Structure 1
Amino acid sequence: MTIKASETSRAAGLVTPKSGRLRRLAIHAMMILLSILSIFPIYWMIVTSLRPENETFSTALWPANPTFENYAFVLTRIPMLEMLVNTTVVAAATAALQVATGLFAAYSLVRWRIRLAGLVHGLIALSWLVPFQVTMIPNYVLASRLGLLDTLTGLVVPNAVAAFAILLLYHAMRSFPTEILEAARIDGAKSWRILWQIVTPNMGAPIASLAIIAFISAWNEYFWPLLLSRKPENSVVQIGLQMFMTQEGNLWGPLMAAAALASLPILVIYLILQRHVIESFMKSGIR
């Protein structure tokens, strides 16, 4: 006992206040460095958007003569504001539909004892692995026959159901206490009432996480709008960015200005909902 106590005290003595401070300083220095590496591309995008044309390739950290000419050029060259509105509508509608369809599918798989529930779950998981390039031609043909080409509805409908949304909510619902559901059913509550008044209010974290991921994914979508859209005013902001990339060369100033405008809504939403975003991801277990 005496030997163990002396060894413990000796080991504890190795961790001095000075070494603890040095360790904290090293951790903070590493976090500051990683933060700078993460923020610097955004800073450089904004700085490049403020440079005049003759200073586009300057390496100065701040332009000598900052100007908003690139922003004015973007707003007059393409319908940027309309594209931002279209992107917001498409992203919000896609996120809402994925949350709704994910709730319905997950609740049916968890609550109702289906004979082939395991097979259905496996097929949904396998469909998640299928790349979009495999299904883009059938989706395009179907959208063309339904008259959805060059419409916002055509951009939303193919992404209204997502395997990721179903699987995320499915695993979240499996951990929901079955005693509460059985008590509600004994009291006469139907499945619709149980889903919307009992299950959904108690799954705020996974639903919020899914909505955030779906919104950002839809906001960054490029390939499907490029395939479906014809007119700029009916397209999204990602297509607007592509208009400043030509075979003759990229218009870096206007391109960075358009990218800054496209990133601004997402950054504002994150700054406003920062605490809720972090809490929802921590509670849902998503990293």
Structure 2
Amino acid sequence: MARVKKGLNYLILFLLMFIMIFPYIWMFLVSIKPKNELYSGNILPSTFHFENYLRVFTETKMFLFLGNSIYVSLIIIVFQVLSAILAAYVFAMIKKKWVQFCFVIILATYMLPAAITYIPSFILISKMNLLDTHLGYILSEFISIFAIFFLRQTFVQVPKEVVYAAKLDGAGHLRLIFTVFIPYSKNAIASLILITFIYSYNNYMWPSLLIKSEDSMFVTIGLRRLFMSQAGYGMDLPLAMAASAVSLLPMFILLAVSNKRIINSMSSLYVNK
């Protein structure tokens, strides 16, 4: 009975895994198909056209779009994680009523739809003459409410005995942050880095309102333009699918590198509950 239950669980997990990865498998198969077989009904192509991936970098500006998205996302990660660490420390350590009230206000703003902030943010960035610049977008993503909340929930789980021992040893606020809280929360910070990168890398609506010049475009906007200009009505769908597959590589690499820390972070949160 136990073996049957275990086998059934593995079967369900396999089916769920297949459902989740099937769109990526279909995308890859379409990217290597000849154009005349797109609507043939065959899953596997008769000939494999891997040159579509070479065309992504020779016939489009995909390399430029990837570079823009990656370096802007990395800068945003640095600012968001550092600001979140400092803010989370304050909200986790200082128990004064006005500090906790500020935390509640910050969480309340997180409940607002992001679209509400587009118009005032656009006006502010316009008055700063930063439209169509990466700096304007970076400044608009300087702080993340989710990151503050996520790290605050991790920081409150730091053993009080360790904090008191560090204080008795003469540790100030900065020393506490860098010698106690960050080492204790390194798995959660790794998870936050991955989440922040995925959000920033995949963000489309807000960057599309700010960025208009082609040389400053991110990969999401570039893919949209590619689908509209070269893949419209299925004219060159394999090229568009190859570009989409290439755009996923940075996220797969980051996930492979930080996979172990993410699992440890999630498991520690579960155990501490």
TM-score, normalised with respect to structure 2: 0.90
Alignment of 1:195-234 (within 5 A): 195-234=177-216
How far 1:42 sits from its partner (Å)?
0.6
Alignment of 1:4-83 (within 5 A): 19-83=1-65
- Aligned mates of 2:66, 2:245 — CA distance in 1: 12
Residue number in structure 1 paired with 2:112: 130
One-letter amino acid of the structure 2 residue matched with residue 235 of structure 1: M
Residue number in structure 1 paired with 2:165: 183
Secondary structure of the structure 2 residue equivalent to 1:74: helix
Secondary structure of the structure 2 residue equivalent to 1:62: coil
Over 3 Å counting, the alpha-carbon distance change for 1:63 and 1:101 in structure 2 is same
Bigger mean CA offset, 160-169 vs 65-74: 65-74
How far 1:110 sits from its partner (Å)?
2.1
Alignment of 1:261-272 (within 5 A): 261-272=246-257
- Aligned mates of 1:189, 1:272 — CA distance in 2: 33
Match 2:241 to one of 256, 264, 276: 256
Residue number in structure 1 paired with 2:265: 280
- Aligned mates of 2:40, 2:122 — CA distance in 1: 43
TM-score, normalised with respect to structure 1: 0.86
1:103 aligns to 2:85 (yes or no) = yes
- 1:11-31 per-position Cα deviation (integer Å, ceiling 9, x unaligned): xxxxxxxx2222222222222
- Aligned mates of 1:229, 1:113 — CA distance in 2: 42
Residue number in structure 2 paired with 1:87: 69
- 1:218-257 per-position Cα deviation (integer Å, ceiling 9, x unaligned): 1110011111112222111001110133396354222211
How far 1:73 sits from its partner (Å)?
4.0
Q: What are the ranges of 5 or more consecutive residues in structure 2 without an aligned counterpart?
A: none
Bigger mean CA offset, 234-243 vs 174-183: 174-183
Aligned length: 268
Residue number in structure 2 paired with 1:115: 97
Bigger mean CA offset, 270-279 vs 186-195: 270-279
How far 1:87 sits from its partner (Å)?
0.9
Bigger mean CA offset, 117-126 vs 266-275: 266-275
- Aligned mates of 1:132, 1:269 — CA distance in 2: 26
Residue number in structure 1 paired with 2:141: 159
User: 2:188 touches 2:262 (CA, 8 Å); kept in 1?
Assistant: no
1:244 aligns to 2:226 (yes or no) = yes
Over 3 Å counting, the alpha-carbon distance change for 1:197 and 1:110 in structure 2 is same
C-alpha RMSD of the superposition: 2.1
- Aligned mates of 1:274, 1:188 — CA distance in 2: 36
Q: What are the ranges of 5 or more consecutive residues in structure 1 without an aligned counterpart?
A: 1-18
One-letter amino acid of the structure 2 residue matched with residue 56 of structure 1: L
- Aligned mates of 1:285, 1:48 — CA distance in 2: 40
How far 1:46 sits from its partner (Å)?
0.6
Match 1:172 to one of 122, 139, 154: 154
- Aligned mates of 2:246, 2:194 — CA distance in 1: 20
Over 3 Å counting, the alpha-carbon distance change for 1:285 and 1:79 in structure 2 is farther
- Aligned mates of 1:96, 1:49 — CA distance in 2: 35
